[in-house]
Chain A
């Protein structure tokens, strides 16, 4: 049989593609070993349709705020870097003009100018970060929490560009050496993935309130915004609240009572 080089290469290429494709097809079409019935939720878990938070600035002072931040960063193994470039933070303080840019004026009272606003991921209802993630590594859960899947994140940081609230941090280097006290019950992250506050989903699964809410002495009110009888809805009815950059349409779930 006489076969020239081109034909040989064409046959070899086609065989390789079919071989690999065949293996892939078998992998995908093979029947699975697990059934959906094997999974269930923790019966203690708190269930909601849209988790939200109200931060009552009238009841939040600097010490309480620092306790909230420390609790969150401690139980979630959030690293502390000296170099501000590499900073990772899930919850942090800001002053009025920087928390609500566009709202500040020359004549705002000094009291408000110096209030220590507590900022965290707003767990938006229409999140820009989820819209842009190319792998669905950040996604919205049924209970409204904007979740991070560290196993899938490719570290492209599109979500960081998209978030209008600067809520996301990237692990520019290995965080482990910079964790003050390891919490062995919760994983750390590795370099190259994005992280942020996830409304303590792991605590909600055990029936506990988020760590910052617990430490806040009542200044942080957490609840299901979708439940008209929840405490948070009553608080929202009783007070005037503002949200950060609400004109952008991301529908933040974190409200502030000034």
Chain B
């Protein structure tokens, strides 16, 4: 390589600039979000507190489930989803999911804000009414 040392020094400077955001915040990470609250009145009324699928599944796959749900409902005209445990649910964000999880700010937004994710669902699907929301 011609000018080999210049290239190596250049690469080191580049790596420094590229990793600067991470190095700057080393040890200063924001605390992980408080576990999203599932103590809504509707959930408390439930005898067996179960979501459509298991908690671990929902944690990792709820966006996939919702993506598939919206295509099944709108494009294929299927209204009922049979979960892994055999229970049946109406496919609807607002009328199924949000009926139990009516505390969007303490549930959905907690993790979404932390991960800087802004799903555009709420542009159309009306957010559930909360006490401090108009």
Give residues in A with beta carbon < 8 Å to B. 33-34, 37-42, 45, 77, 139, 141-143, 147, 149-151, 182, 184-185, 187-190, 201, 205
Residue among B70, B81, B124 facing the most chain A CB atoms (10 A cut-off): B124
Question: Who on chain B is nearest to A1 by CB?
Answer: B1
Q: Is the CB of B124 within 8 A of A182?
A: no
Residues of B within 8 Å of A, CB-based: how many?
Answer: 27
Among B21-29, B35-43, B72-80, B105-113, the stretch that binds chain A is B72-80
Q: Is the CB of B74 within 8 A of A149?
A: yes
Q: Is the CB of B82 within 8 A of A142?
A: no
Chain B residues closer than 8 Å to A40, beta-carbon distance: 78-80, 82, 88
Chain A to chain B contacts (Cβ below 8 Å), 27 pairs: A33-B61, A33-B64, A34-B68, A37-B82, A39-B72, A39-B80, A41-B77, A41-B79, A41-B80, A42-B79, A42-B80, A42-B90, A77-B126, A139-B75, A141-B77, A142-B77, A143-B77, A147-B74, A150-B124, A151-B70, A182-B126, A184-B128, A184-B129, A187-B94, A187-B126, A189-B124, A190-B123
The answer for the CA separation of A96 and B83 in the assembled complex, in Å, is 52
- Interface residue? B56 (CB, 8 A): no
Give residues in B with beta carbon < 8 Å to A. 61, 64, 68, 70-72, 74-83, 88, 90, 94-95, 120, 123-126, 128-129
Chain A residues closer than 8 Å to B76, beta-carbon distance: 39
A178 → chain B closest CB, angstroms: 14
Chain B residues closer than 8 Å to A185, beta-carbon distance: 94-95
A74 → chain B closest CB, angstroms: 14
The answer for the CA separation of A45 and B70 in the assembled complex, in Å, is 18
Further contacts, 13 of them, CB under 8 A, given A39-B78, A141-B77, A151-B70 = A40-B79, A41-B78, A41-B79, A41-B80, A139-B75, A142-B77, A143-B77, A147-B74, A147-B75, A184-B126, A187-B94, A188-B124, A189-B124
Chain B residues closer than 8 Å to A42, beta-carbon distance: 79-80, 90
- Return the 10 tightest CB-CB contacts between A and B, nearest first: A190-B123, A39-B78, A42-B79, A187-B124, A187-B125, A40-B80, A38-B82, A205-B79, A149-B74, A184-B126
Chain B residues closer than 8 Å to A139, beta-carbon distance: 75
- Identify A39's interface contact among B61, B81, B125, CB under 8 A: B81
The answer for the CA separation of A189 and B126 in the assembled complex, in Å, is 10
The answer for the CA separation of A39 and B71 in the assembled complex, in Å, is 12
Q: Is the CB of A45 within 8 A of B79?
A: yes
Chain B residues closer than 8 Å to A38, beta-carbon distance: 81-83
The answer for the CA separation of A224 and B95 in the assembled complex, in Å, is 28
Chain A residues closer than 8 Å to B125, beta-carbon distance: 187
The answer for the CA separation of A187 and B73 in the assembled complex, in Å, is 13
B101 → chain A closest CB, angstroms: 15
Question: Who on chain A is nearest to B129 by CB?
Answer: A184
B36 → chain A closest CB, angstroms: 22
Question: Who on chain A is nearest to B72 by CB?
Answer: A39
Residue among A39, A189, A190 facing the most chain B CB atoms (10 A cut-off): A39
Q: Is the CB of A188 within 8 A of B126?
A: yes
Chain B residues closer than 8 Å to A37, beta-carbon distance: 82
The answer for the CA separation of A182 and B120 in the assembled complex, in Å, is 19
The answer for the CA separation of A45 and B74 in the assembled complex, in Å, is 15
Chain A residues closer than 8 Å to B70, beta-carbon distance: 151
Residue among B78, B95, B120, B128 facing the most chain A CB atoms (10 A cut-off): B78
Given A40-B78, A41-B78, check contact A190 B124 (CB 8 Å): yes
A170 → chain B closest CB, angstroms: 15
Chain A residues closer than 8 Å to B123, beta-carbon distance: 190
